[in-house]
Structure 1
Amino acid sequence: MSGRTSAASPAWFAAVRPVLAFSYLSLSHLATARDSHALAALAVGMIVLLLLAEPLWHRRPWAIALAAIAGIALWQLKDSAHIHIALLLMPVIFLLLLAWLFGRTLMPGHVPVISKIVRALEGGDSEAMMAELDRYTRGLTTIWTVVFIAMALINLALALIASPGGLLARAGIDSAWSISDSQWSWFANWLNYGLVGAVFAIEFAYRKRRFPGRYKNVADFFRRMAALGPAFWRDLFK
């Protein structure tokens, strides 16, 4: 493999994933609001690019092949109402993926993912303090795993009862309770991440009280997280 394909991603590449993620959320919401199959296909395409962004940048043959197959499939589905099923299930799949990524690090022989982050941030602490932080961060990793599973189930329930475009309605099944497609979209595409932010804010406030003097504020915490570097975040779940 040439040096060009194996070279590290440029500094600006870190902004690609947030841009693709925001593009997906916006397109998904617009696709639901306008009942647009083409916008729905484009939204799913943003997810494909989000997942394959780095290997595509490095011109990995398997990533190029997957992107081509996905592109052909989405082109075929751009005039089909079935593409909206993908939008309904995407938040559920994404949240379950997060639950799996967090949960698998709780298995024997693995370091809980939040413990790994804290060890990188707090490497200079005493052995006793690190042991206490390890216990806390293992519990916190468990909490996030449960949160993601619970949110996935909520999203699945809302996708089922949305009307007229929900999963049950598309299958011709009447639901005793229902919400509008617009209400589903606001929750799945925006409120989901507000809930994640709320859980983080509550936990961060508690952590500052339990382990005082470690972070000046949220901005300082994220600055230190960013300073860990792209390689750390790329390998976090390995």
Structure 2
Amino acid sequence: MIEILSPTALLRAKDAGALVADILQTMKSRSTVGTNLLDIDRWTHGMITEAGARSCYVDYEPSFGRGPFGHYICTSVNDAVLHGLPHDYTLADGDLLTLDLAVSVGGVVADSAISFVVGDARPPESVAMIDATERALSAGIAAAGPGARIGDLSHAIGSVLSEAGYPINTEFGGHGVGSTMHQDPHVSNTGRPGRGYTLRPGLLLALEPWVMADTAELVTDADGWTLRSATGCRTAHSEHTIAITEDGAEILTLPTQARP
């Protein structure tokens, strides 16, 4: 299903995007050496509840997971890259943490993810990998607008990731959002320009470049959810929800202090 949002629904999407972004930034500031992943999940639950929003994760039960997910945020550490199930783990200096969050406000969803290094350590390889996903995300957003094709966005994302030297997995990528978290169209993290669905004003897309340092192969944890690099290498993931407008694309998941 591909949804085109009304102007009224788009306002709710903006509210959802602002909430997602602000929760992620709050959780980033609280994710210090010694923080437990279960505390991050508990804090996220509290902020969602206080805002009167709805979690997209806690009851999520897709075919590829061992559901329901049962938690409020994805916490992926080091070699984990997607769907990281919060568990009893205490963050250490130099850990690479990815937080991925989707919430619904007034029946409309926004979805975003950030990766960062915990503590004072700054491993150059981790910093470079995070930077590559952020640059790829910016390139994908720059390619988006009315009349553009999905392949244009995929090509822009994939070009940055490939030039940075990272293998690209095509099993999981970006996607449409709206009244539900995962919708068509699928947005692969690599592709050919001029192909696929033509973007229209009112369409919401969650673009999410993610990479693993030296492999494109994933393995699934015994928890049935957490996806890790097959080689144990580090990973990174960046994601924004954007709205296609009459003259381009608007990022909905910017933190409040970063909004124009």
Compute the TM-score of the two structures, normalised by the length of structure 2.
0.28
Larger strand percent:
2
Bigger Rg, structure 1 or 2: 1
Larger helix percent:
1
Compute the TM-score of the two structures, normalised by the length of structure 1.
0.30
